[in-house]
Amino acid sequence: MRESMAEKKCLACGENLEELAVFHNMPKSAQEFPTREELATEKGMDLSLCQCRSCGLVQFDTEAVPYYKDVIRAGGGSSTMKALREEEYQKLLSFLAKKEEKRPLILELGAGAGEFLAMWSGVESGADTSSDVNSVTSPDTASGTSLSIGAKRSQNLEPYVLGIEHKKELVEKGQAAGLSLYQGFPEAGFELKNMEGKHLQSGKTRPVEGLLDVMVQFNFLEHQPNPGEMLSFAYEHLKMGGYFLLTVPSFQYILDHRSYYELLRDHIANYSEESLLSLVQDQGFSLVESRVINRDTIEFLLEKREKESCTTFRSLGQKVDIKPILENEKAIQEDIQKHLEGLRKKGEKMAVWGASHQGLTLLSTTALQEEVAYIIDSAPFKQGKYSPASHLPIVDKSHFQKEPVEEILIVAPGYTEEIAGIIRKDIRPCPRVLALRGEKIEEL
Inform me whether the pLDDT recorded for 141 exceeds 60. no
Point out which residues pair with 358 in neighbouring strands: none
Mean pLDDT of 55-73: 94
**For residues 98-104, average pLDDT:** 87
Find, among 152, 259, 264, the residue nearest to 219 by Cα: 264
Report the candidate in 64, 92, 58, 69 with the shortest Cα–Cα distance to residue 278. 58
Name the CATH code of domain 322-443 (choices 1.10.10.370, 3.40.50.720, 2.60.40.10, 3.40.50.300).
3.40.50.720
* 81-95 pLDDT per residue, tens: 889 999 999 999 999
Question: Residues with Cβ < 8 Å from 18, sequence gap 6 or more?
Answer: 5, 50, 51, 52, 53, 319
102-106, 144-148, 423-427: the lowest-pLDDT one: 144-148
Region of 352 on the Ramachandran plot (φ > 0 left; ψ -120 to 50 alpha; else beta): beta
Would you say the C-alpha torsion 297, 287, 275, 324 has a positive or negative sign? negative
Asked whether residue 115 carries a pLDDT value surpassing 70, the answer given is yes
Distance CA 213, CA 397 (A): 47
Residue 414's pLDDT is what? 72
β 394-395/297-304 pair status: unpaired
Q: Which fold has domain 79-124+156-305?
A: Rossmann fold (3.40.50)
Distance, CA of 299 to CA of 288 (rounded, Å): 11
Rounded to an integer, what distance in angstroms lies between the CA atom of residue 27 and that of residue 18? 23
Band the pLDDT of 134: cuts 50, 70, 90. very low
Rounded CA separation 292/273 (Å) = 9
Backbone φ/ψ region at 337: left (φ over 0), alpha (ψ -120 to 50), beta: alpha
Domain extents in the chain: 79-124+156-305, 322-443
User: Using one digit for the tens of pLDDT, what is the confidence trace for 183-220?
Assistant: 999 999 999 999 999 999 999 999 999 999 999 999 99
* CATH topology match: 79-124+156-305 vs 322-443: yes
pLDDT tens digits for range 357-406? 999 999 999 999 999 999 999 989 999 999 999 999 999 999 999 999 99
